[in-house]
Amino acid sequence: MNLNKALTKQAYEEVENHIERVQEDPYFPGFHLAPPTGLLNDPNGWIQWKGIYHLFFQWMPFKTGHGAKFWGHFSSENLTDWTLEPIALTPGDWYDKNGCYSGSAIIHEDKLKLFYTGNVKDENGDRESYQCLADSTDGFSFSKKGVQVELPDEYTPHFRDPKVWEHNGRWYMVIGAQTKEEKGAVALFESTDLREWNNRGTISHANKPPLSEFGYMWECPDIFSLSGKDVLLFSPQGLSPDGIQFNNMYQSGYVLGELDYPQASFDHGTFEEIDRGFEFYAPQTTEDEKGRRILFGWMGVPDQQEFEQPTIENGWVHQMTLPRELRLVNGRLHQLPLPELNELRAENVFNGPIDIQYKGSIARTSEIQLKGMVKKLCLFDNMTLTYDEKQSLLTLERPNVADGRPERRSCILSGALYSLQLYIDHSSLEIFANDGEAVFTSRMFADPENHSLFIESDGKVDMAIWRLKDNTVSYMNHPE
């Protein structure tokens, strides 16, 4: 049996042996995508093709740690019900033997094509990096086509995460890079035929104004245009905390500008964090068949107390965010929950005005909408959101997963707080403030038996609560 086949078989055995325990974990999500066993990280190959949404993911089936990643695969027709599909990519070839790392998908000549990074470590532990291709005629079984792009001279082997798109009849690829001076950068490649790729140089750099000393490595770049602007999303590593900014181990955010394709230059503004919560990294977007720019992120951050999470003892770790639509509003990216997510609602359990102090009890899969000015919201005696009206400052506090000490993330809103939408899924919380102007994405390891909700407001707040469905993802769909 060849190595890819053997690895695939081993991975399915792992799923079979662990899936029950994983799904019995009270922290396992009811409507978010999580690994059937092992570790999940970045969203990959996110695309809609022939009506079906495909979301691939970085997956380590053999342990709750990082290593030689597979590409797992979920599909959905409606963005709420998902199915785990057969494994898409297995790290069994010389050019990807230490991991089929992150990448993206395109549609070309009636095929779904995946570009990904082949991660290789030699006998001395030195890294090599290859940008590789795999394709599929049905969207479910993939055949590898090998190395497409080799490492150019100007970068170290920290060179990965190709995102490919088409513009004016040509193909473009951005790659997350580290220059030889150990600065983060984005590399641009161009192709007319998806075979020959030309190196067009560095289009954004940690020391190119308006940025300076902006990290030693940039991961997972993504470029798209939105409302007449070009948006570059990326995940820089090596920033120091700066007041309420950059408080996670690594960041994810964007710059806005104009990409001059013929000149291969990108004039852009300063960096803005896209999410203000504790766990958010490596987002990827696609434009769906309705023309919406939809983002998925990883609800985790590398090296940030990943292995202190209590799900480890049940053999799994991490999950995806919900899918969100991106809009550009007054020069800032807003993230909005998709209308499709309303299909998650199982039962409306509250509707109406609330007193200055509200105390209630809610299910561990719930959606809460609040219109008006909330001053404080405390969920499961664990997560506390407070709003300081004087500074328009919204702050989320929780006990640290390792030592229980309070930790905070904050954000300043452009105006007064007028709306909140919260999605609660066992051990995660996504908060959308003021119609997606600010989003806080976080894991939440509250006592699973705790259902309490406490809200303090100015007494002029309307609230709606829905209990949400608790099993919208099907995890057992692989060949015997």
Binding site for ligand FRU (CB under 6 A): 41-42, 58, 69, 101-102, 117, 160-161, 219-220, 281-282, 302
Report the residue number, 80 or 319, with the smaller CB distance to ligand FRU. Answer: 319
Q: Which of 42, 93, 161, 288 is catalytic?
A: 42
Exposure of 254 by Cβ count < 10 A (0-12 exposed, 13-18 middle, 19+ buried)? Answer: buried
Where b means 16+ CB within 10 Å and e means fewer, 78-87 reads ebbbbebbeb
What is the nearest approach in angstroms of ligand FRU to the Cβ of residue 306? 11
Nearer to ligand FRU, 252 or 457 (CB): 252
* Class of residue 143 by CB neighbours under 10 A (exposed 0-12, middle 13-18, buried 19+): exposed
> What does the block give as tokens for 201?
């140089």
Q: How many CB atoms lie within 10 A of CB 414?
A: 11
Nearest CA to 288 among 143, 422, 105? 105
From CA 416, how far away is CA 387, in angstroms rounded? 9
Q: Which is nearer to ligand FRU, 69 or 183 (CB)?
A: 69
Q: How far is the CB of 279 from ligand FRU (least distance, A)?
A: 12
Record the tokens describing residue 34, joined without a space. Answer: 């999580």
> Rounded CA gap, 385 and 394, in Å?
7
| Shortest distance, position 202 Cβ to ligand FRU, whole Å | 17
Residue (220 or 374) nearer to ligand FRU, CB: 220
Q: Give the Cβ contact number of residue 154 at 10 Å.
A: 15
Q: Give buried/exposed letters for 435-452 (b at 16+ CB in 10 A, else e).
A: ebbbbbbbbbbbeeeebe
Task: Decide if 42 is catalytic.
Answer: yes
Tell me whether residue 177 or residue 379 sits nearer to ligand FRU (CB atom): 177
If the CB atoms of residues 36 and 297 are measured against ligand FRU, the closer one turns out to be 297
Nearest Cα to Cα of residue 279 among 252, 241, 244, 257: 252
Smallest gap from Cβ 44 to ligand FRU, in A, equals 8
| Closest CB 104 distance from ligand FRU, rounded Å | 11
Smallest gap from residue 161 Cβ to ligand FRU (A): 5
Q: Which residues are catalytic?
A: 42
